């Protein structure tokens, strides 16, 4: 019996009519993968017995969480809205034969993208699927191993390019809701409700007068645009407002200002 190691796991997407049709594309360098299946157990308790009378199977809720260094910006741009489904998401352990899981009709519930100075750009994604099956057998494409780095991104605040940042991060929460299928206890449909978008920018400023200039953007009714691009494509482009502005420092640090923000939407 072979014991699988996490280092062997690969993640692919495909758009065939079944889990075994079409090409499956590797979506990036995975750093952590966590597929889960909540059986929705229903404990049955009643008088006359201290323990449970039974444990009933409830509504199954398959999910898939992963951290990645992405190689295709369109993977984030297309699916982070929570409205567009990935027809098939595959967790593949290569072997003879391959093993793993295939998730059908996958939606992003929560997406967080982060770039730090002198690092690769990372994403953390929590995805929900309508069903989960044993791994299919599509045409596996080559593994892509060159992710984006911080120099591939750009940040614009109030229409002015910002070049003195140390990190940026934003998170989109789509607040998905799973509608149950009363025929088989699975999922009938996954619906995206209201979206919440927030983030944090850490950057250097030449003087505290620049800091106060940015603080002035908090004026009543005053909103400003924040645009984050990777490889010249918008990941975020929306009117925003700063949150609590901070400038923490210690004796060994330069003063890097922290600017949390809330955006109206992704675009």
Query: Are the C-beta atoms of 147 and 231 separated by less than 8 Å?
Result: no
Cβ-proximal residues to 80 (8 Å cutoff; 6+ apart), any chain: 108, 111, 113, 172, 235, 266
Sequence-ordered strand ranges (E) for the chain? 10-14, 23-26, 28-38, 42-44, 54-56, 61-70, 86-93, 99-116, 122-134, 139-140, 153-157, 160-162, 165-173, 176-180, 187-192, 196-204, 224-230, 233-242, 256-263
Query: Are the C-beta atoms of 119 and 34 separated by less than 8 Å?
Result: no
Query: Are the C-beta atoms of 20 and 136 separated by less than 8 Å?
Result: yes
Query: Are the C-beta atoms of 91 and 33 separated by less than 8 Å?
Result: yes
| Rounded average pLDDT over 215-225 | 72
Cβ-proximal residues to 97 (8 Å cutoff; 6+ apart), any chain: none
Averaged pLDDT of the chain: 90
What is d(CA 69, CA 150) in angstroms, rounded to the nearest whole number? 11
Residue 74 domain flag:
yes
Residue 240 domain flag:
yes
pLDDT at position 220 over 70: no
- Which residue range is the domain that position 15 belongs to? 6-263
* pLDDT tens digit sequence for 120-136: 999 999 999 999 999 99
Residue 44 domain flag:
yes
Number of structural domains (the chain) is 1
Can you give the pLDDT at residue 183? 83
What pTM, to 2 d.p., does this model score? 0.89
Residue 130 domain flag:
yes
Bridge partners, 65 (sequence order): 34, 126
Residue 220 domain flag:
yes
Q: Using alpha carbons only, what angle is made at residue 160 by residues 157 and 161, rounded to the nearest 5 degrees?
A: 85
Query: Are the C-beta atoms of 33 and 66 separated by less than 8 Å?
Result: yes
What is d(CA 207, CA 35) in angstroms, rounded to the nearest whole number? 47
Model confidence at 245, in pLDDT bands (50, 70, 90)? confident
Residue 1 domain flag:
no
* pLDDT tens digit sequence for 135-182: 999 999 999 889 999 999 999 999 999 998 999 999 999 999 999 888
Residue 102 domain flag:
yes
Residue 221 domain flag:
yes
Cβ-proximal residues to 191 (8 Å cutoff; 6+ apart), any chain: 176, 177, 179
**Highest mean pLDDT: which of 90-99, 117-126, 158-167, 239-248?**
117-126
């Amino acid at each position: 019996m072979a014991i699988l190691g996490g280092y062997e796991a690969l993640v692919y997407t495909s758009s065939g009519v079944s889990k075994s049709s079409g090409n499956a594309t590797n979506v990036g360098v995975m750093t952590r993968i966590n597929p889960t299946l909540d059986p929705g157990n229903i404990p049955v308790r009643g008088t006359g017995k201290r323990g449970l009378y039974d444990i009933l199977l409830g509504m199954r809720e398959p999910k898939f969480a992963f951290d990645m260094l992405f190689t295709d910006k369109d993977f984030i741009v297309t699916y982070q809205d929570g409205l567009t489904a990935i027809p098939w998401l595959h967790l593949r352990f290569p072997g003879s034969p391959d093993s793993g899981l295939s998730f059908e009709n996958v939606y992003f519930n929560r997406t967080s993208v982060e770039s730090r100075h002198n690092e690769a750009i990372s994403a953390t994604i929590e995805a929900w699927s309508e069903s989960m099956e044993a791994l299919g057998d599509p045409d596996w494409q080559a593994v892509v191993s060159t992710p984006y780095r911080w120099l591939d991104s750009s940040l614009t605040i109030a229409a002015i390019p910002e070049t003195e940042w140390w990190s940026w991060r934003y998170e989109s929460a789509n607040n998905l809701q799973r509608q149950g299928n009363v025929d088989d206890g699975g999922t009938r449909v996954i619906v995206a409700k209201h979206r919440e978008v927030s983030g944090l920018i850490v950057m250097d400023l030449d003087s505290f007068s620049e800091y106060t200039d940015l603080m002035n953007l908090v004026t009543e009714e005053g909103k400003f645009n924040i645009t984050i691009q990777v490889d010249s494509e918008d990941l975020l482009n929306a009117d925003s407002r700063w949150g609590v502005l901070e400038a923490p420092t210690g004796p060994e640090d330069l003063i890097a200002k922290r600017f949390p923000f809330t955006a109206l939407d992704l675009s």
